[in-house]
Amino acid sequence: MSTGAAVAPGGADRASRAVIGAIVFAVAVAAFSRVPLLPDIGADLSLTAGQVGLLTTAFGLGRLIMDLPAGRLADAIDPTLALAASGVALAFSAGLLAAAGSFAVAMFASGVIGCATAVTNTTGMYAFATATAAQRRGASMALYTTALMSGQMVGPAIGGALATLADWRVAISVSAAIGVIVALVCGRIWARAGRPLRISAGAGAARRAAVGEPSGPAPGRVELLALAAVPFATFFGIAGLTQTLIPLIGSGELGLSASAIGFAIGGAAAARFVSAWYAGVGSDRWSRKAVVVPMLVLMLAGALLLALPVGTGTWLASIFALAIGSSGISVAAAALADRVEPDRLGHELGVFRLLGDLGLLVGPAVSAFLYQEVDARSAALAAAAVFAIAVVTTLVWVRGTRGPGAAEPGLAG
């Protein structure tokens, strides 16, 4: 695996991306296997619905804390070393959660799991964004998002199955074991390659030669905020709906088991591959914006489905709509990478993820509160409003591209 995780496209870089993609997938599986377990954790620890939502909020806060440091790490150290550290953090925090006997311990463990995923996700996003030139960046980012989101969909299925066969503590213990494996594999790759601790000063020039110059002026503050609205809305929906409201509705109103909830969420992973192709290849062929907007509209539709009278059909349709629409994150990240200097991309992606991960912090708290104090419909409509705002800001303020760098007319930068 090359220093900086990606230089010119070729066989070696494909192998590097395969390894990093596998690690991103494994960490996502381990971190998100807890989603269908939340009702069981709440019952075991005697938690209210609001406290169950706060466990996901703690996860989002951990990611928020680590986003900027993770971006700096992506610019500064070998990715295998960063991924090894995330494996250690995952193993420690998942083990702590499996042994938790109180709300406080579960909150702390959930937060550290969030820290581990922040390092993994930012490292992976940076590696895939710099793995190829702009003409193929959308497709490369689609592979990254496929690994990440597929892990987030498959993880709940595995967690739910393990909880049904044994209990939630066994399921979380498996996540700790995955963290140990990640740390050992990445640590061995780094040690055997004999790489230095820090990336050399010439790495930025090498990356620029491989991926080309930025295709346009650096985005201003308004456009950066508009771009960040895409991951904010998406993470708000994933954390507030898929990880909080959907399990609560499935368990409390539809009477489904943890296994059924997990397999329903995991089943959307197959559709996720189709949306990843559209998001990546489509954004390279047509326009980043021409892909982002429909994805946000699809997530808006998924939220509105949950506002309808409760039924298994609309519940499942919402899960699939949210899963498919989440591909918009990779396209927004590709749009950012198109116009940022490669040696500063890690930092900019850290800021991008920081603003987006606010959605992980706010989404579950809002959804759980509204579900507990009002009803499921109000929680779904709140998420729909967030998606609607993201659609408008993207249409108005995000500059699009047609092909590798031709500015889309009529749109402010």
The sign one gets for the Cα dihedral 76, 82, 86, 92 is: negative
pLDDT of the chain, 413 residues: tens digit per residue? 333 333 333 333 556 778 889 999 999 999 989 988 988 999 999 988 888 888 887 888 898 899 999 988 887 888 888 899 999 999 999 999 999 999 999 999 999 999 999 999 999 988 888 877 777 888 888 888 878 877 877 888 899 899 989 899 999 999 999 999 999 999 888 888 766 555 544 455 445 544 555 566 677 788 888 988 999 999 899 889 988 899 889 988 898 888 788 888 877 767 777 777 778 888 888 888 989 999 999 999 999 999 998 889 999 999 999 989 988 888 898 888 888 777 777 888 888 888 888 887 788 889 988 998 999 999 999 999 999 999 999 999 988 654 444 444 333 33
Amino acid letter, 234: T
Q: Where are the domains of the chain?
A: 11-407
| Helices assigned H by DSSP within 238-327 | 246-252, 258-285, 288-306, 312-325
Enter the CATH code of domain 11-407. Answer: 1.20.1250.20
Find residue 198's DSSP bridge partners: 77
Going from the C-alpha of 249 to that of each of 60, 154, 246, the distances in angstroms are: 21, 20, 5
Query: What integer pLDDT is reported at residue 302 of this predicted model?
Result: 96
- Shortest CA distance to 388 belongs to which of 299, 291, 283? 299
Residue written as token pair 């997938």? 25
Query: What's the pTM value of the predicted model, to 2 decimals?
Result: 0.77
What pLDDT was estimated at residue 14? 59
- Taking each helix axis as running N to C, give the angle between helix 258-285 and helix 134-165, from 0 to 180 degrees, rounded to the nearest 10: 180
Contact 228, 356 (CB under 8 A): yes
pLDDT of residue 174: 96
Question: In one letter, which amino acid is 72?
Answer: R
Q: Which DSSP category does 77 fall into?
A: B
Find all residues with CB under 8 Å of 38, minimum gap 6, and list them.
Answer: 52, 55, 56, 243, 244, 247
> How much is the pLDDT for 409?
36
DSSP 347-401: HHHHHHHHHHHHHHHHHHHHHHHHHHHT-HHHHHHHHHHHHHHHHHHHHHHPPPE
